[in-house]
Structure 1
Amino acid sequence: MSGKKGQNGISAVGVLFSDGLLGPKRDGYMMRNIFLASCFAFLMAGCQTVERGSVGTQNLRAIHHPLYGITIDSVEPLDKIVDSISSLSKRPTTRVVFDKWAPASDYTQALEALYPDSYIMGEILDSFDVKDYTTRQYHERVKEYLDAHGDKVDIWEIGNEVNGEWLGHPGQVVSKIEDAYHQVKTRGYRTALTLYYNKDCWKYAEEEMFNWVATRLSADVRKGLDYLLVSYYEEDCNDLKPDWQGVFNRLGELFPHAKLGFGEVGIKDTDRKANYLESYYTMRIDHPRYVGGHFWWYYRQDMVSKTKLLWSILDNVLRGR
């Protein structure tokens, strides 16, 4: 039973008594009327829920913020991945990238192994693979993964780097992610959407991040998202170092209820990895809904096993948070 139903039930009983409609004279009579009033309130609450189209929320485990995000683009070697993640000083949120055309059953063992020591964000499909799916295929993929792993994924990333020009026709991209949003929300699960920050490095002006949000994304999604995240790679965008405080201030206005953070960061240059990782994971943003995230894309390559230098650097950063 959702909280809304419970509140409606209590209110209905209160109105019945305050209006004097029951007016009990004897204990037995009063108890019978309380029972009848409660039944009536419950039925009324149920009807209101159906009429409004509201959905009962799942019993989701609580997520503590900030998020200490990492990304694994493969679940092999699973034993070393689990050992690396479970040894971190803080419970991370592991974003698992679900490979294109892979059945949901391929991830059952991995999600069960990761679940005790990590929150899990499931990436429905990486941005580079979205163009290979029709809208119907994307819908069916979302349904398959929700059916299989709804109880093991804490956050569902319904779209990744959605304003990137490589995802295909913008109208089709929006149809895919909005359908995914409604599927996830209907089941009472948490949603995340990752944008691609591309100031002065977009291919088409309409794909610039803020412009894309303003012209493409529905108000329903912008108001209802649980997490709005940003992917950014400096080496892909002229080594620009954005004014992140200003960026998240603007995003907070566009997404008035979502928690805000980074959904993907990383760098290929081996010599710059350590400083790059530290600079993003220790970044301070003064916004009441900022929750960190970051989700280092190369975690499996850079930090599995836990004897690697970057694992120690990340763990030291987490110890200081």
Structure 2
Amino acid sequence: MYVLLRMLAPASRSTPQGGTNHSPSHHASSHMLYGLTIDDSWDGTRRLADIVEALQRLPARPTVRIVMSKDRSPQRYRGLFKAIHRVADIMAQPVDSSDMHSYSTERYQQRFAESYQYLSHYVAIWEVGNEMNGQEWIQEDPHLTAAKVASAYRYIKNKHAAAALVPYYFPPNGSTLSMKEWLQTYLPDDLRQGVDYVLVSYYDDDNDGYQPNWRQVFAELET
């Protein structure tokens, strides 16, 4: 699967920060991120060169969200992240929601720690929780899911780096709890009040073409 991230609700920080050794973002003063998502389902230096060339041709420096595979160690991503970092800011997603159930809370945090160790120089934003409210496919106790996300959030914030949440938007009556209700019910206060960015994952083709009122959705998230 994946992904279209529609719109951005800026939270308490407007300046993405990577690790302590991360260079300043080209759009650090902006409240809008322009970006796209890539993964590692392709292979070869030619494909990477094509991606880098395409990114260079964009009218604004983008933020590239990189979805990392569970069976690939963070160290093996260094070449990809280094190449993309030359032409774009990076938002790293160490764990996809489809793999959430495979991690204990300890292993989830460890995945982020290892990713930070090898990739922090290249990363502007860390996605500490991907579609964490998707209980239908995560298939675990939401309290456990929230604990995992909180562990990664606290690790990243202790490194003075920027953290993002990417919950899934369900249309009305599409889930037991709405996106906002899930976040309010399960996420701890320090995470909800301190996270730097909230982006929303949504697939209109999975929801009979339903188009949410995005201004209303993000206004509700800010309350």
For normalisation by structure 2, the TM-score amounts to 0.82
1:58 maps to 2:30 = no
Alignment partner, residue 36 of structure 2: 70
Indicate the structure (1 or 2) with the bigger Cα radius of gyration.
Answer: 1
- Give me the whole-angstrom Cα distance separating, in 1, the residues matched to 2:94 and 2:129: 7
1:186 maps to 2:158 = yes
- Give me the whole-angstrom Cα distance separating, in 1, the residues matched to 2:82 and 2:117: 15
Q: Residue 113 of structure 1: which of 76, 83, 94 is its match?
A: 83
Matched positions, count: 195
Describe the shift of the 1:146–1:120 C-alpha distance in structure 2 as closer, same or farther (beyond 3 A).
same
- Give me the whole-angstrom Cα distance separating, in 2, the residues matched to 1:97 and 1:126: 7
Superposed CA offset, 1:81-119 (max 9, x none): 111112212111000111013111111001111112100
- Give me the whole-angstrom Cα distance separating, in 1, the residues matched to 2:125 and 2:21: 13
- Give me the whole-angstrom Cα distance separating, in 1, the residues matched to 2:75 and 2:170: 35
Q: Which has the higher contact order (CA 8 A, sep 6+)?
A: 2
Alignment partner, residue 151 of structure 1: 121
- Give me the whole-angstrom Cα distance separating, in 2, the residues matched to 1:213 and 1:189: 21
- Give me the whole-angstrom Cα distance separating, in 1, the residues matched to 2:101 and 2:68: 15
Superposed CA offset, 1:52-98 (max 9, x none): xxxxx835413513211100022632121111112212111000111
Cα distance, 1:202 vs structure 2: 3.2
1:80 maps to 2:50 = yes
Superposed CA offset, 1:136-177 (max 9, x none): 221211110011111110000001111011123211110110
Cα distance, 1:201 vs structure 2: 5.5
Alignment partner, residue 194 of structure 2: 224
Alignment partner, residue 213 of structure 1: 183
Q: Residue 172 of structure 2: which of 194, 197, 200 is its match?
A: 200
- Give me the whole-angstrom Cα distance separating, in 2, the residues matched to 1:99 and 1:223: 29
SS in 2 for 1:199: coil
- Give me the whole-angstrom Cα distance separating, in 1, the residues matched to 2:92 and 2:109: 15
Structure 2 unmatched runs, 5+: 1-18
SS in 1 for 2:172: coil
1:174 maps to 2:146 = yes
1:2-151 to 2 correspondences below 5 Å: 58=20, 60=22, 61-64=24-27, 65=30, 66-74=32-40, 76=43, 77-151=47-121
Contact 2:169 2:201 in 1 (8 A): yes
SS in 2 for 1:62: coil
Structure 1 unmatched runs, 5+: 1-56, 254-321
Contact 2:21 2:121 in 1 (8 A): no
Structure 2 residue identity aligned to 1:178: A
SS in 1 for 2:92: strand
Superposed CA offset, 1:260-298 (max 9, x none): xxxxxxxxxxxxxxxxxxxxxxxxxxxxxxxxxxxxxxx
* Structure showing the higher helix proportion among its residues: 1
- Report the identity percentage: 35
For normalisation by structure 1, the TM-score amounts to 0.58
- Give me the whole-angstrom Cα distance separating, in 2, the residues matched to 1:96 and 1:144: 16
Contact 1:111 1:152 in 2 (8 A): yes
